Amino acid sequence: MADVTTDTARPASGDSQELDALVIGAGFGGMYQLLCLRDRLGLSVKALEAGGGVGGTWYWNRYPGARCDTESHAYWYTFAPELMREWEWSERYPGQAEIMRYLNFVADRFDLKRDIQFNTRVTSAHYNEATNRWLVCTENGETYTVKFLVTAVGCLSTANVPNIPGLADFKGDWYHTGEWPHEGVDFSGKRVGLIGTGSTGIQAAPVIAETAKHLTVFQRTANYSVPARNAPLTDEFKRYIKDNAAEIRTATHETANGHQFKIEDRLALQTPAEEREKIYQAAWERGGLQFRAAFHDMMSSKEANDTAAEFIKNKIRQIVKDPKTAAILSDIDHPYAAKRPPIDSDYFETFNRDNVTLVDVKAAPIQAITQTGLRTTEGEYELDIIVFATGFDAMTGPMLRMDIRGTNGTPLSEVWAAGPVTYLGLQVGGFPNLFTVTGPGSPSVLCNMPVAIEQHAEWISDCIAHMRTNGIDRIEPRPEAVTNWVQQVNEAAAATLLPMATHSWYLGANVPGKPRVFMPYAGGMARYRGICADVAAHGYEGFVLSPAKVPA
């Protein structure tokens, strides 16, 4: 067992604060977990948050065009009916600023901020087997000794800035979208280079193009996108939300992705071509992520998926006037929605602007960033600003950047060396009383996040309540339960087309050297919810529950 007093988790100064529980993070997940543990269980608990305010992902991702891809009436907390009555969204998809207002409203409404310590980054968490406590250290040198540790660190909170030679010499300014300056960035009169065409780049490009002198989009992998069709909510729809809040909540609990819409039962391959085209056209006009729900076989049959892929590729060719640009944008190498499908507001239309250029960096890779711009194998592009919309070290990155050690001082990085292994995405073997909100192995990023978060936070607090009622002090998964769950995660992914996007961040393929393992559980949120409920109903099957040690 590691001696926690002699390693990096040693208190730097002063006494360690003792609490029942500590939550790391104060985004959607951390805020609700804090509320559950403090207000429902009555624990002494605090949340530590690296940012200067609540919001998590939304606190950091302030890039131009940042907006949620989930419709607002499904992107909120549903645990309190009064909250759903009191809050009113203004648009079909909430923008970053409105989500921040919402999360601050919730934090104030439930007086959460008094137990959140901001500007506090956790650097390490070491488990002490003798005391059955976690010793948690922060960058500021504070330490906490807690029985329960819950990480709510988000799945997409570790920015991935690619290691392109020469970045340090660049004389202009550069930014990663996930660490955007609070004061914003003025693009007017500037030559801007945007690297990355995932959901973020696709949201940002049209907005940057509005004010930049010139925008050059560097595309490595062409991507699908469907119009979002964002618009202000009508009074009638706002009334519908208020009158049907409970039904909307139930719907999000019953669907595979935690959205309010169901995946249609009909099959693309059994639908006559003309009718299928009409269905896709209607879904295109309606807009949004619901496009992928148009047919049941879209994510399980490549042939069915091809019909959706071809429909979108044709749309790109119709929208983009320059045939060469249209060809590069529509040369997509993976099935539709095998990578997270973006939705957009005028993304493809942006390439019809005089001040926007597309550069294919798959054909001519980026070689270096120079003092004055960026060089590919085909030439140099003069730039004043570079925007990296290059994604995140997703799911495992936020956990592994902390020095987390379990029993015997074993580092989490060692246990996850070949990819994340968890039981239900909730716990890791050998890390007792450590819970992960939307951890790898749970539906997480394949689900509408607040829905996944509420289920996790409630399951975790129910589990801790069960422990307290039954004199149980320690919980961790059995090795065979972990092995079995990892197999289920793999099988669930294999039953879909998701692994066919071999360069996706779902597989960790966007970060050099990261193990290629499909990380989220693709079996569907509704099914997962049932599995977790069954596990709890059967006395936390698959977990080892140990009573408090009798003093010697």
User: Helices 28-35 & 449-469, crossing angle to 10 degrees?
Assistant: 30
Return the structure tokens found at 219.
């595309």
Round to whole Å and give the CA distance between 138 and 12.
9
Cα–Cα nearest to 426, from 460, 377, 393: 460
Looking at the Cβ atoms of 22 and 343, the one nearer to ligand N01 is 343
- Please name every residue paired with 17 in a beta bridge, in sequence order, or none if there are none: 144
Looking at the Cβ atoms of 198 and 430, the one nearer to ligand N01 is 198
Burial pattern 325-345, b for ≥16 Cβ within 10 A else e, equals bbebbbebebbbbbbbbbbbb
Smallest separation, CB 29 to ligand N01 (Å): 15
Round to whole Å and give the CA distance between 328 and 343.
19
Phi and psi at 519, nearest 5°, equal -90, -45
Work out whether 197 is an interface residue with ligand N01 (CB under 6 A): yes
Member of 92, 220, 259, 514 binding ligand N01 (CB under 6 A): 220
Smallest separation, CB 246 to ligand N01 (Å): 25
Binding window for ligand N01 (CB under 6 A); candidates: 242-250, 387-395, 402-410, 450-458 = 387-395
Member of 4, 423, 510, 528 binding ligand N01 (CB under 6 A): 510
For residues 53 to 72, the per-residue mask of contacts with ligand N01, x marking binding by CB under 6 A and - elsewhere, is: --------------xxx---
Looking at the Cβ atoms of 279 and 366, the one nearer to ligand N01 is 366
Looking at the Cβ atoms of 366 and 463, the one nearer to ligand N01 is 366
The kind and range of the H/E element at 133 are strand 133-138
Cα–Cα nearest to 62, from 175, 160, 197, 179: 179
Work out whether 340 is an interface residue with ligand N01 (CB under 6 A): yes
The kind and range of the H/E element at 287 are none
Member of 200, 216, 230, 442 binding ligand N01 (CB under 6 A): 200
Mark residue 331 as left, alpha or beta (left: phi above 0; alpha: psi -120 to 50; beta: remaining): beta
Q: Find the radius of gyration of the CA atoms of the chain.
A: 24
Cα–Cα nearest to 85, from 247, 245, 260: 245
Which residues 154-173 are close enough to bind ligand N01 by CB under 6 A? 156, 162
Member of 199, 305, 345, 442 binding ligand N01 (CB under 6 A): 199
Member of 31, 366, 399, 517 binding ligand N01 (CB under 6 A): 366
Looking at the Cβ atoms of 53 and 508, the one nearer to ligand N01 is 508
Binding window for ligand N01 (CB under 6 A); candidates: 198-206, 251-259, 299-307, 319-327 = 198-206
The kind and range of the H/E element at 360 are strand 356-360
Binding window for ligand N01 (CB under 6 A); candidates: 82-90, 138-146, 218-226, 236-244 = 218-226
CA angle 369, 371, 373 (to 5 degrees): 55
Which residues 232-291 are close enough to bind ligand N01 by CB under 6 A? none
Looking at the Cβ atoms of 293 and 481, the one nearer to ligand N01 is 293
- Residues interacting with ligand N01, by CB under 6 A? 67-69, 156, 162, 195-201, 203, 218, 220-221, 340, 361, 366, 389-392, 445, 503, 505, 510
